[in-house]
Amino acid sequence: MRCSRRGSTVRRLVRPLGTTILMGVVALALVACSGSSRVRKPSDLVTVSNQFEMQTVWSTSVGSSEGFNFHPVVAGDAVYAASHRGNLVKIDLATGKKVWEASVPERLSIGPGSDGRTTVAVSTKGNVYAYDDTGKQMWKVNVSSEVLSEPIVAGGIVIVRALDNRFIGLDAQTGVRKWIYQRQQSALSLRVGYGMLAIGNEVIVTGFSGGRFGMIAIANGGLVWETPVSFPKGFSEIERLNDVTAKPSMEGDIICAVSYQGRVGCGQARTGNLLWFKDYSSYTGTAQSADLVFSSNEKSYVTAFATKDGAQVWENTQLTHRDVGESLAVGKVLLLGDAQGYVHALAQANGEMIARIRHDSNPISAAPIAVGGLILIQSQGGKISAYSPK
């Protein structure tokens, strides 16, 4: 059985021995299945007079995610995107023209990852497919587990995070395994993709189950540091679920992360030492500006905290139950999509709704991307567009 929420992979619980339990008893699952009598009604759209426009520069389609959570990735002057049915595409960033299309011979669960030279995607059977900069297949490697986390290509290494808590480093040119970093499996964890943030070609920062996040060296898979942002609490295994599933964010030398049923916190990127933390719960992660960190909870309340001390600056409840996705802080605005395909712009300073566009009728769970004066947005239906803010 597979249900969808915001177009992303169904939230499930997984035990180390492979037993899977649907999260029908967790708040996440209350909106997961359309047949549920407890489906929440999204709030009506508030009237907004756009203070700026998002003009479409180009638009194309790459194919539907079909319940999985695909993100586009930018490398150099190109955008790389994929679909569940195996369509892998390189798109010219300036024009939207498809440079090449490859047909992966299996259904995909996640992807792509790319550094502009090697582009990879992972099938539902755990096969990693790699393509060169012309769209020709280079290699195929099986990692013996399901993969729901977006792969990263950096420093000549392809980093794949498997659902069994293994991080696998593969040579980007040959697919030869370079290293493995194994995490201990928790008694119960969320069956989702865990976001990874690459910092240059040297390290990645990612969350773990049990309310922890850490930094891993790309070259050898060594753990640089690990820090708890929150701790499990409660009596039952479900109450004690406390995973940092979303991609951490970084601005300057400050890195922030948030856990489900836990806390949000910010600390020093070099050491991982937290400067502050506050009770909060989110699976859409954090976004940062120079002075603020933003996150949205399960009710789609959007909150801004002061980066220096965690003081709440504002909270916007106008998007209640609209199932907003990952956000992007750019310029003076915060951009985030919702389950009905709208993209909302909030003023970073006070949370005021200042603009809105309708990108698509399908959910938008991936964070918008700001690059070269453009804003890139991909829906779960596969529509990807470049917008120019005016």
**Domain ranges for the chain:** 70-190
- Total number of residues shown for the chain: 390
Kindly indicate the confidence band of residue 51, based on its pLDDT and cuts at 50, 70 and 90: very high
As a whole number of angstroms, the distance between CA 285 and CA 264 comes to 9
DSSP state of 361: S
Q: What is the pLDDT of residue 44?
A: 97
Alpha helices in 127-217 (DSSP H): none
Q: What is the pLDDT of residue 331?
A: 96
57 has pLDDT over 80: yes
190 has pLDDT over 90: no
* Tens digit of each residue's pLDDT (9 = 90 or more) over 124-179: 999 999 999 999 999 999 999 999 999 999 999 999 999 988 999 999 999 999 99
Least confident span in 107-121, 236-250, 326-340? 236-250
3-state DSSP assignment of residue 116: coil
> What is the helix (H) or strand (E) element at residue 385, kind and residue range?
strand 383-389
From residue 178, alpha-carbon distances to 70, 149, 196 in Å are 26, 19, 19
194 has pLDDT over 80: yes
* Tens digit of each residue's pLDDT (9 = 90 or more) over 265-319: 999 999 999 999 999 999 899 999 999 999 999 999 999 999 999 999 999 999 9
String of b and e for 8-20 (b: at least 16 CB within 10 Å)? bbbbbbbeeeeee
Q: What is the pLDDT of residue 20?
A: 32
Kindly indicate the confidence band of residue 99, based on its pLDDT and cuts at 50, 70 and 90: very high
Kindly indicate the confidence band of residue 192, based on its pLDDT and cuts at 50, 70 and 90: confident
DSSP state of 8: B
Q: What is the pLDDT of residue 67?
A: 84
375 vs 4, higher pLDDT: 375
Q: What is the pLDDT of residue 83?
A: 97
- The percentage of the chain sitting over the pLDDT mark of 90, rounded to a whole number, equals 78
Average pLDDT over residues 70-91: 97
Q: What is the pLDDT of residue 224?
A: 97
Residue 215 phi/psi, 5-degree rounding, is -115, 135
Q: What is the pLDDT of residue 34?
A: 37
Nearest to 130 by CA among 155, 108, 113: 113
- The percentage of the chain sitting over the pLDDT mark of 70, rounded to a whole number, equals 86
As a whole number of angstroms, the distance between CA 265 and CA 284 comes to 14
Q: What is the pLDDT of residue 214?
A: 96
Average pLDDT over residues 53-69: 94
Question: What mean pLDDT is reported for the chain?
Answer: 89
* Tens digit of each residue's pLDDT (9 = 90 or more) over 32-50: 333 444 678 999 999 999 9
Average pLDDT over residues 54-73: 94
Q: 69 is written with which tokens?
A: 């959570």
Q: What is the pLDDT of residue 242?
A: 74
Q: What is the pLDDT of residue 245?
A: 87
- The verdict on domain 70-190 having CATH code 3.10.20.340 is no
Average pLDDT over residues 374-386: 97
* Tens digit of each residue's pLDDT (9 = 90 or more) over 324-369: 999 999 999 999 999 999 999 999 999 999 999 999 999 999 999 9
* Tens digit of each residue's pLDDT (9 = 90 or more) over 207-231: 998 889 999 999 999 999 999 998 8
Average pLDDT over residues 230-247: 74
